[in-house]
A = this chain, B = another copy of it.
Amino acid sequence: MALTDEQQAEIDAARGEAGRTLRPTVPALEAMLFQAMPVLDHGFVRVVDYMGDDAAVVQAARVSYGRGTKAANEDRGLIRYLMRHRHSTPFEMCEIKYHVKLPIFVARQWIRHRTANVNEYSARYSILDREFYIPAADALAAQSDVNRQGRGGVLEGAEAARVLELLREDAQRNYDHYAWMLNADEAGRVLDPERQGLARELARMNLTLNTYTQWYWKTDLYNLLHFLSLRADAHAQHEIRVYAEAMLETVRAWVPHCFEAFSDYRVGAVTLSAQMLAIVKRMLEGEAVEQAGSGLSKREWRELMAMLGRPA
């Protein structure tokens, strides 16, 4: 359960206040505002605010006065052209703000995307909640044998059970000791009036990296799509990919033409190096090219065959 009753009540209260605006509005995204989408065991993503729509991308590309042509078909074509030719600035004219609850080790990956605005819950100032990410059974992956930063099959049996037990026990024990060191419970109530309590900015160091934190994260559509192209990718770590996938749904609702172009020209696209392109041309001429003599390393050959859906 990602949201406490209290949190949900607050969100519901805020949700009531609708206003009138002359700004572009997107009904499909309005319907998602104030809705927390659950992610992992205690996390969520919710859209807090947004600026612009598909037409704002077109408007910026045309630097016209109005909202761009009303011919939706032309707008779609222009957006596809911009995406295909990697024009970036018109997509920067849309902005979105999320509220995210996520484990600290995921936050550490996420924050490496620098072109965004962030306000994170401060553990110097406040006491963190007693919530930790514990992987579901099917996410408890073994280390990959072939990829140093990848996952292999799922752990099972006694090893899996022991891993889950350790993760749970260690996170809870460390949190309990964190609270003891603070001399305060989760709600900030003093535990022992005879003790002083360690400074919050120090006590937090005893917490484990699967402790949940939360932040407001705001970025423009161009940088959001770049983030999603990396983090919704099959090579991304599962624990950040599930956030990216939830955010993809918000993009689909918000800017459907941009989403479609992104799917076709980024997510589903492949890049062929000069050498790969030369090989594809030879294959199209009917030549039977093999790795030996192709000029590609074995690794690159495998990558090319995978793109072309052929056996390596």
Interface residues of A (CB under 8 A from B): 7, 10-11, 13-15, 17-25, 30, 33-34, 49-52, 56, 59-61, 63, 65-67, 77, 81, 84, 89-90, 92-93, 95, 97, 99, 103-105, 108, 111-112, 114-115, 117-122, 124-126, 133, 135, 139-144, 148-153, 155, 159, 163, 166-167, 170-171, 173-174, 177, 180-182, 195-202, 204-210, 214-216, 218, 220, 237, 263-265, 267-277, 280-281, 283-284, 297, 299-300, 303, 307-310
Contact = CB atoms under 8 A, between A and B. Distances in A.
A65 B22 CA distance: 26
A11 B114 contact: no
B23 A121 contact: no
A204 B218 CA distance: 28
Contacts of A103: 205
Nearest to A57: B119
A215 to B, nearest CB: 7
Given A133-B205, A149-B201, A264-B275, A10 B143 contact: no
Contact of A149 (B99, B125, B180, B276): B125
A170 B150 CA distance: 28
B22 A20 contact: no
Contacts of A166: 177, 180-181, 206
A263 B274 contact: yes
Copies of this chain present in the complex amount to: 4
Contact of A119 (B89, B99, B197, B220): B89
Contact of A143 (B15, B200, B275, B300): B200
A150 to B, nearest CB: 8
Given A20-B25, A274-B269, A118 B142 contact: no
B280 A309 contact: no
A135 to B, nearest CB: 6
A25 B209 CA distance: 38
A307 B277 contact: yes
A15 B22 CA distance: 7
Across the A-B interface, the 9 shortest Cβ-Cβ residue pairs: A268-B274, A92-B117, A205-B210, A19-B25, A142-B196, A60-B119, A51-B51, A124-B149, A114-B114
A19 to B, nearest CB: 4
